[in-house]
Each structure stands twice: as C-alpha cells, then as structure tokens.
Chains A and B, each alone.
Chain A
Amino acid sequence: MRNIKEHIVEYLILFVAIFVFLLLFFIFRFDKNSLGIISALASVFYILWGIIHHVLRDRLTKSIFFEYVLFGSLVFLLLYTVLSF
C-alpha cells in the first residue's frame, strides 16, 4: 500500500484504464470480435504500464520485463479461452 501512495498517479492511470476496459467489456458483451480486440489491448496496455512504471524509477531488469510480458499474456489467454468458443 505504501508503494501505491508513493506512485499514486501511475496507479490512478492503471485503475482508470481497468475501469474503462471493464466498461468496454460490458458495452460490447455481445460482440465477440470487439471483445477479443479489447482483451488484446488490455494486455498490451498492462505490459506497457509495467515496463514504464519500472523504467521511470530505473528498476527495469530483464526478469521484470518478462514478468510483465508473462502476466499480460496470462491475462489475454484467460479471456481468450472464454471468448474463442
């Protein structure tokens, strides 16, 4: 929580983006093609957010870079599994 308070602007951007994606998901809930695109955008956004967050404090390592890529991929796969059927 201390970390969130220290980087309130970055977390605010993340939470607003999460809210927007959730809203888009609800609006396009009957359009699977749009939902697929929204899912892909959400995971790309999350990867970029993580990378930028760590670059700004000069703490980006190869391991952290892969961590965000992997969690972003996991997010997309969890959604795609349901959307692709």
Chain B
Amino acid sequence: MSLSFIRNKQKGNPNVVKYWRKNPKAIEKFQFVYNFLPHPENKKRANLISNKAVVVYCLMIILATATIRITPKFFPGVLGYASNITIKGLLDYSNSKRSEAGVSNLILNPKLTEAAQQKAKDMFEKGYWAHVAPDGAEPWDFILGQKYDYIYAGENLAKNFSNSKEVVQAWYNSPSHKSNLLSANYDEVGFAVVNGVLNGYETTIVVQVFGRPREPSMLASVSDESTILERENSSSTIEPISGTTSVLVKTVEKEVSTVPTAQTEPKIDVTVATKSLSLIFGGFVSSLLAVDLWYSKKKGISKFNGQTFAHLAILLVVMVSVWFVLRPGVII
C-alpha cells in the first residue's frame, strides 16, 4: 500500500476511518515512514531529526564519551592507542627537518638514549605526563644520571601518536618544540619509545633528549648509533619489566615494554572508537537531513523550521574534519 494511496484515501474518501480500521498495518507503516521522512500534513521534519531526537543524540554522545573515559579506571589496558613508532624513523625525520633548516644532523648517543628510556619508564611507574616528575625530578637529572656532562640539553615529549612522522611533524609545528628540534646547540640525541598503561590507557610515550657534551671527546661514534639501531631491529617482541613494587606499578609490570620499537595493538583503539562514534551519529543525522531536503523538494513540502541545508553543510564539515584532520597525539 503506497503512501500516496493512503493520503488520497484520507483526502477523498469520507470512510477513511473504516479504511484505517480494516488496515491496521497500513497505519503502522504510515507512522513508521515518518520517522525518516518529513510529514506533508504536519509540515515537520522526520521524527528522528526533531528537536527531541537531537537532544537524545547529544545525551547518547555524552554517555558514550563518559563510558570511554571511565572504562580505563575499571579495566586498565583495554582501551588504548595503536602505534608503530621506531627510533630510526624518529631520527630520520628529525634529521630531515634539520637538513631542510640547514642545521647539522644529530647522532644517536647511547647515554642520552638510556636517559630517555629512564624518563619514559619513570613516567609510567609514577603515573605522570610532564617534564618534571611529581617528586621534583627534572629532565637533567636523568641525563646527568647517565654520566652525560652537557653544555646544552633539552627534552621533547609525545604520546598517543600512531607513527614516527606524525610525532616529528607535531614537534615541528609547535614553536617551543621546533626550537629544540632545529637548535644548532645540539649535536646528539637519544630516543625512547616505550609502551605501557598510563592512567588506564594503553599508550606509547616518546621521549627525545638532546645534548651537547662538555668534552668533544665524549661525542658518540657512528658505531654507537649503529648499535642502538641494530638493537631496535633485533627486538621485535615486547618484554615486560620486573622488579617494581608499588601498587601503581603492579599494573604497569605486565604492560611496560623497554624495547625501543613500539608496536601496540590495544583491544579497543580509542582513536577508532571516538572517530566511529562521531561519524556514526554525524552520518546518521546528515543522511536524514539530506533525505529531508530531497523529499521536501520532491513533494513541495514547505516546513516552518531552521535551515536544513545549513545544518547539513555544518555537519558535513564536522565529519570531514573528524575523518581527515583530527589525529591522536599530544606533545609537551
């Protein structure tokens, strides 16, 4: 039974009530279709894009976001950020940026690499994300702890990125991190790429430590760099650390990897989950708005409400931004 037939029946037939009584399923169909299509008699949008429906969508998004935020507190490590970051990639992209700026390349130094590793592990073990630890330990303490006597030193941090290029690009786009990245005061660098659970989320922390030794004789050799890169190549499996005692570290013991290559695959990738959530809701409402535009024009339905085309345009821009522009990752 087509909708147009039902409407003709309504308009032309005085016994329309009789007709409805004989065909209860037609009523159900008639009512159901207007969940998706604008109503020609009421001059209103489809029920599923009414103001009430949008309130429900907003509440559902808030609820889903809150669930993603609360889950790590009860199930640490279930949610996280998938990544594939390598020391070689970080070094190559960093040196590529320095070459473009006409600054000499950085060489990997084993002591700075170890200082970066210690800093990353310290953040996981003490559960912080900052240049200065809650106990007051500064980046220089980790560098000096490796007996690296420096004239200049610096530190860049990143987490939740998916690949090496995005990490270096993020540092490059931030003025303060860029000044470290392209500083001619540094000759050497150390990287740590460490997986673990930070504040309930499976994540990858990247630490970049720069330095210039006080004695030029302390400069790392090419063979030192090769050794670090070879170690990265050979370590393809993730090994847990042990020997930690605090309650916080109890969950970290199983999760933190000291291997310099970080390839994490959490059960649920936060980036995929949040992007999907946003695109599903945005896509659903946009589709209904597009149908509303098309059907209203086709049937000549003139409704007294907001501009459907404007709603559709802004939602499409939001979805383009979510899909193409927004990326995970934080730097400090």
Given contacts A30-B331, A31-B174, A70-B54, contact A82 B322 (CB under 8 A): yes
Residues of B within 8 A of A31 (CB): 173-174
Check B307–A30 contact: CB distance below 8 A. Answer: no
B320 CB within 8 Å of chain A: yes
Check A78–B174 contact: CB distance below 8 A. Answer: no
Q: Tell me the chain A residues, 45-76 only, with Cβ under 8 Å from chain B.
A: 46, 49-50, 53-54, 59, 61, 63-64, 66-68, 70-71, 73-75
Check A78–B282 contact: CB distance below 8 A. Answer: yes
**Interface bits A18-51 vs B (CB < 8 Å: 1, else 0):** 1001100110011110010000001000100110
B170 CB within 8 Å of chain A: yes
Interface size class of B (residues with CB under 8 A): 35 or more
Partner of B173, one of A21, A30, A73, A85: A30
A52 to chain B, nearest CB (A): 12
Check B325–A30 contact: CB distance below 8 A. Answer: no
The main secondary structure of chain B at its interface with chain A is helix
Binding site for A on B (CB under 8 A): 51, 54-55, 57-58, 61-62, 64-65, 68-69, 169-170, 173-174, 270-271, 274-275, 277-278, 281-282, 285, 304-307, 309-311, 313-315, 317-322, 325-331
Nearest 6 A/B pairs, CB to CB: A30-B170, A70-B54, A67-B306, A78-B278, A77-B61, A30-B173
Given A61-B304, A74-B58, A82-B278; 15 other pairs, CB 8 A cutoff: A1-B309, A3-B309, A14-B313, A22-B320, A25-B325, A29-B173, A29-B326, A30-B169, A30-B170, A30-B331, A53-B307, A70-B54, A74-B281, A79-B278, A84-B274
